[in-house]
Structure formats: structure tokens, C-alpha cells
Amino acid sequence: MNISMKQKAVAMVFSLGLMAGCSSTGETVDEGYTDTAASGQDGSTVYGGTDDGGISSGQLSAEERQAAQERAEMEAMRQITTFYFDFDTSEIKPEARDVLVAHAKFLAANPSQQVRLEGHGDERGTKEYNLALGERRANAVERFLIVNGASRGQIETVSYGEEKPAVMGSTDSAWAQNRRVELIFQ
């Protein structure tokens, strides 16, 4: 499973954020606001100071907690908007599929949301070939999104071929970062 450094970094940031957000110390943070962690079935109060205006996880059922966790995971996955391709192919990589499903579900739930799929290639090959390859890549992502719930009317595709490289250079690393489709939400 080949995961780019950018995807690893994004996953690491979200993991650290999740761990930091889930930690509780039980100490006073600011006057009137405490981070209380109750033991047992009571759960913990979030943003609950002395005014009892917070939300207690003890009030959520297991299904509600699971649904909230899934929504948070889907939102975290939606932060990834660049998808990379192997040399001379428009086949979507397996590690990108779950993230694209999250985008498709978001589009299905928000029918007025528009997205532009920008297909790119590396500098090898002719300009015409790279334009066609970028278009095939964008079309592959479009088909995947539609099959998973997005509407064709929400999606616009465009190919830039080799014209807008993400990284300048003629190395394997630079080429790998330039073979991509970017989702631009409008």
C-alpha cells in the first residue's frame, strides 16, 4: 500500500488532534470552565462550565456516539483532496477509495455543492498525451464519485496535463507528485 508523504502527514495531524481532543485532565482550564471526566457510565461534560451548558457524552447512546465518530472520520477524510496515480495510468489507487467515498457521500448529502476535478500528468510524454491522460484521470474520479452517490451535475472535469506541476523537477519523486487529480470544491 503506497501512501504519499502528504497523506501520511495529514493522517498524523488528524490522529494527534483526535488524541489531544479526547484527552482529559480533570484540572481547571480557565475560571468557571473545567474539563471534567466522570467515571462509570456518566461520561464527560464537553464545554461544560458552571452553567451546565455543555453536552454530556453520558446522554448519548452507543449508536449516537458511533454515528458521531463516523461523521468525524468522514470529515477528516474529506480534508484529503489530492489523489495520486501511477505512471501512465488512470486507475484509482486502493488507498484513495475510502476517501473518495467520503467525498461522494458529502456530495450526495449536499446536492447544491459543486466540485471541479483537475487532472494532471507529469512532464514525460507529449503535451497532447498528457492532456488526454489528465482527462482520463479526472473522468475516472468522476465515475467513482457518481457510482458512490454524487450527481453528475455537481461535477466538472478539466485536464491541465503537465501545465500545472505541483513540484518542479525531473525526478521520480517530483513526477509522482505531479500525477494527480485535485478536488476543488466551489
At CA 163, angle to CA 98 and CA 159, rounded to 5? Answer: 50
Q: Which pLDDT score is estimated for 45?
A: 45
More confident residue, 37 or 130: 130
Bridge partners (DSSP) listed for residue 55? 46
* Region label for 91, one of left (φ > 0), alpha (ψ between -120 and 50) or beta (otherwise): beta
pTM value > 0.75: no
The confidence band for 182, taking pLDDT boundaries of 50, 70 and 90, is: very high
Q: What's the pLDDT score for residue 64?
A: 85
CATH architecture of the domain with residue range 76-185: 2-Layer Sandwich (3.30)
Over the chain, what is the mean pLDDT?
80
- The string of pLDDT tens digits covering residues 9-56 is 556 555 555 555 555 455 444 444 444 444 444 444 444 455 555 555
Angle at 144 between CA 15 and CA 185, to 5 degrees: 60
Please check whether residue 124 is in contact with residue 86, taking contact to mean a CB–CB distance below 8 angstroms: no
Among 67-76, 107-116, 147-156, the range scoring the smallest mean pLDDT is 67-76
DSSP β-bridge partners for residue 76: none
C-alpha cell at 47: 464545554
* Average pLDDT for 116-120: 97
Strands 180-185 vs 115-120: parallel, antiparallel or unpaired: antiparallel
For 163-181, write each residue's pLDDT tens digit: 999 999 999 999 999 999 9
Q: Spell out the domain ranges in the chain.
A: 9-59, 76-185
